[in-house]
Amino acid sequence: MDDDFLGMLIVSALIVGAICGRIGAILAARKNLRTWAGLLLGFFFGPLGVLLIAVTPSNPDPAPKGMKSVVCQTCNARQNIPTDDQIHDCWQCKRQLTPSL
């Protein structure tokens, strides 16, 4: 292989890796995943890493401070309730539930 061709190949691979890494980081941030993981997957695996991040399911948003996130056992609705609440009403099915931890 010619040295110029090899140099261009390395530069091209770095450019594609940087672009895919950036896209992976953006996708991971939008899906509430770890941004650095999206960056590394995109950089090292290129379009395959971006595709992997695109098909990965999103993480739910974390509960605000002083709240905890619970899922209704009846209708699977996710809701935030105060941390010290032992009994709550589901906002969707209106059933009174006790949170399971």
DSSP readout, 28-97?
HHHTTS-HHHHHHHHHHHTHHHHHHHHHSPPPPPPPPTTEEEEE-TTT--EEEEETT-SSEE-TTT--EE
What is the C-alpha separation between 81 and 65, in angstroms, rounded? Answer: 11
- At residue 100, the pLDDT reads 58
Angle CA 31–34–35, to nearest 5: 85
Q: Check: pTM over 0.75? Answer yes or no.
A: no
Per-position pLDDT tens, the chain of length 101 = 678 899 999 999 999 999 999 999 999 999 999 999 999 999 999 999 999 999 999 988 888 899 988 888 888 888 888 888 888 888 889 888 775 55
- At residue 54, the pLDDT reads 94
- At residue 17, the pLDDT reads 96
- At residue 28, the pLDDT reads 95
